Amino acid sequence: MITLKIKIRKEKGKKVKKLRKAGWLPAILYGPKIKENILLEISQKEFKGVYLEAGHSSLISLEVEGQKKNYLVLIGDVSKGSLAGEITHVDFYQPDLEKKVQVKVPLVLEGEAPAVKELAGTLVQNIYELEMKAFPQNLPKEVRVSALFLKTFEDRVLVKDIKLPEGTEILRNQEDVVAQVVPPVKVEEELAKPAAEEKVEVEVVGKEKKEEGEAKEEEHVASENKQAGKEKKETK
What are the domain boundaries of the chain?
A: 2-94, 101-191
Q: Are strands 168-170 and 143-146 parallel, antiparallel or unpaired?
A: unpaired
CATH fold for the domain made of 101-191? RNA Polymerase Alpha Subunit; Chain A, domain 2 (2.170.120)
Contact 129, 157 (CB under 8 A): no
Gap between the Cα atoms of 67 and 184, Å rounded? 60
| Average pLDDT along the chain | 83
Gap between the Cα atoms of 57 and 91, Å rounded? 13
pTM given for the model: 0.70
Q: 213 — alpha (psi -120 to 50), left (phi > 0) or beta?
A: left
Closest CA to 76 of 28, 36, 137, 142: 28
User: What is the tens place of the pLDDT at every residue in 1-55?
Assistant: 899 999 999 888 778 888 888 999 999 999 998 989 999 999 999 999 999 999 9
Which residues, in sequence order, are bridge partners of residue 181?
123
CATH fold for the domain made of 2-94? Ribosomal Protein L25; Chain P (2.40.240)
R_g of the chain computed on alpha carbons: 21
